[in-house]
């Protein structure tokens, strides 16, 4: 059994890291589990614990989805939360409403659904999780910090492939290992 997910790797540039570090600094009094920059990715589908024998079906589905979408660029911008403003669970960086990433996300969900991995109840929302929290102590300060970064332009990213990752839980933190890469448009 492997803990698997399909994603787009995001390699942050200087501007991206500036916004990320500014937000971390503004929220340093909170207990937030921050995603390390080397682990930044945009999840297309979380598969969870998956038996090894299902790997070929996943790879075939991701290859089909990748072949349906040519490489594209998208603008990473905006900061938001999942959960309510008084009980946030996740801090994310977003994507300017880009049709190409939504089409890729839908293709991945559809192909994996056909391969026996049911779609989630929610629609695909392109985002990059940067932090997770259980409880916020200084709610007003938290809301103000998010508001300051709400419209930040982070960077333009060229998307050329989907990566199937294995998530390994290690004592020092999570490690993502690339299993297979699927070039777009091929």
CATH number of the domain residue 11 falls in: 3.90.1140.10
Band (22; pLDDT cuts 50, 70, 90): very high
Q: Does 41 participate in catalysis according to the annotation?
A: yes
What pLDDT does 31 receive?
94
Q: What's the pTM?
A: 0.92
Q: How far apart are CA 155 and CA 15, in angstroms?
A: 7
Instruction: Check 41, 113, 138, 151 and give the catalytic one.
Output: 41
- Report yes or no: 124 and 87 within 8 Å, Cβ to Cβ: no
CA 17 to mean position of chain CA atoms: 16
What pLDDT does 172 receive?
81
Percentage of the chain exceeding pLDDT 70:
100
* pLDDT tens string 136-163: 999 999 999 999 999 999 999 999 999 9
Provide the 3-class DSSP secondary structure of residue 30.
Answer: coil
* Total domains present in the chain: 1
Domain limits for position 13: 2-183
Q: Which DSSP string corresponds to 84-133? A: ETTEEEEEEEEE-S-HHHHHHHHHHHHHHHHTT-PPPSSPP--EEEEEE-
Q: Does 127 participate in catalysis according to the annotation?
A: yes
Instruction: Check 25, 113, 127, 138 and give the catalytic one.
Output: 127
* pLDDT tens string 68-98: 999 999 999 999 999 988 889 999 999 987 8
What pLDDT does 119 receive?
87
What pLDDT does 176 receive?
94
- Report yes or no: 53 and 113 within 8 Å, Cβ to Cβ: no
């Amino acid at each position: 059994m492997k803990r698997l997910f399909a994603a787009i790797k995001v390699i942050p540039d200087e501007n991206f890291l500036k916004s990320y570090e500014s937000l971390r600094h503004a929220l340093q009094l909170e207990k937030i589990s921050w995603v390390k920059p080397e682990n930044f990715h945009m999840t297309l589908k979380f598969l969870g614990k998956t038996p090894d024998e299902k790997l070929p079906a996943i790879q075939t589905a991701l290859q089909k989805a990748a072949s349906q979408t040519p490489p594209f660029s998208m603008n990473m911008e905006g900061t938001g939360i999942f959960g309510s403003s008084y009980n946030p669970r996740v801090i994310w960086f977003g994507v300017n409403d880009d049709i190409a990433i939504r089409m890729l996300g839908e293709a991945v969900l559809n192909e994996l659904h056909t391969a026996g991995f049911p779609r989630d109840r929610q629609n695909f929302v392109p985002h990059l999780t940067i932090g997770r929290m259980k409880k916020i102590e200084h709610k007003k300060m938290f809301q103000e910090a998010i508001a300051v970064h709400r419209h930040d332009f982070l960077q333009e990213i060229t998307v050329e492939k989907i990566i199937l990752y294995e998530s390994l839980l290690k004592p020092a933190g999570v490690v993502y290992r690339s299993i297979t890469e699927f070039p777009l448009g091929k």
